[in-house]
Amino acid sequence: MRVFGILILSAASLLAVDSADLSPARIDEIIKTFTANEAAFAEARSVYTYHQTVRILDLDRAGNTVGRWEMESDIIFNRDMKRTEKVVRAPIPSLKNFQISPEDLQDLKDVQPFVLTTETIADYDVRYLGTERLDELDCYAFAVKPKKQEKGKRYFSGIVWVEQRDLQVVRTYGRGVGITSRNQAFPKFETTRQQIDGKYWFPAYTIAEDTLYFEDTSARIRQTVKYEDYKRFAAESRIIGDVVEVPEPAKPPVPEPAKK
């Protein structure tokens, strides 16, 4: 059985990284600050609701769609005020050349919207690559890979771009890795963030287009994930049925980004 597990158009941009000299002390300071900002961002994002749309296409050699897997869901708060995912649309899958594995679902949830915090950095080697301009943003680029891998856990391996002014992650490029069977393959993806409420950079979309190579065959995949309608959750929200109604006022405080 072949299991989906997806080269991305912007990969050529990796060649444009300028290896500007920074002292080891300054690099350590940047890493310490942006991982602290990532920890604060993760805490802030935990009080937001949003809408997520996932579309995975199974393509033939000519690029035509021969199957698909889709899911739309709302990330909300339930009656117990616990954050949960409410699936609002999930058509019957029609994939022909691969299937979705539990590892793929874990990557969708945790690896593709990758967050490198002061807590999780202990699991990773982080190496400074240089500077690069992404759109209108001047960024530092860092290579990130797991120090070791434990069975049952998924990790990110790739590059993160950190905006130079606020020292926050604005883009990631790589793939999910872990200990899996030999007949599983996983995509290279790119996740781009956008600034929400003028403070933190939240995932906006993930794209991946790749050829997966299995033991006996290959498959072409195109994937998009959109994260939309971010709204800060308020403790005074009223819950109607299984859906949370979020008022505009009375927004809870969120942590401030770390100072440089």
Instruction: Supply the DSSP string of 111-150, one letter for each residue.
Output: ITT----TTGGGGEEEEEEEEEEETTEEEEEEEEEES---
Asked if 23 and 208 count as a contact pair (C-beta separation under 8 A), the reply is no
Whether 156 maps to a domain, the answer reads yes
Q: Which of 2, 3, 11, 1 lies closest to 208, judged by CA?
A: 11
- In this structure, are residues 21 and 129 in contact, taking their beta carbons and an 8 Å threshold? no
pLDDT band at 242 (very low <50, low <70, confident <90, very high): very low
Distance in angstroms (rounded) separating the CA atoms of residues 108 and 129: 26
Predicted confidence (pLDDT) at residue 11 exceeds the cutoff of 90:
no
State how far the Cα of 102 lies from the Cα of 125, in Å rounded to an integer: 26
Residue 117 main-chain phi, psi, to 5 deg:
-105, 175
Using alpha carbons, select from 16, 226, 238 the residue that is nearest to residue 131.
16
Name the residue range of residue 113's domain: 3-244
The answer as to whether 44 is a domain residue is yes
Domain membership flag for residue 230: yes
The angle formed by the CA atoms of residues 217, 220 and 226, to the nearest 5 degrees, is 145
Is residue 260 included in any domain, yes or no? Answer: no
Residue 259 resides in a domain: no
Is residue 166 one of the residues assigned to a domain? Answer: yes
Q: Is residue 67 part of a domain?
A: yes
* Contact (Cβ atoms closer than 8 angstroms) between residue 107 and residue 206: no
Residue 174 belongs to some domain of the structure: yes
Per-residue pLDDT reduced to its tens digit, 185-228: 999 999 999 999 999 999 999 999 999 998 888 999 999 999 99
- pLDDT digit string, tens, across residues 120-164: 999 999 999 999 999 899 999 999 999 999 999 999 999 999 999
Number of structural domains, the chain?
Answer: 1
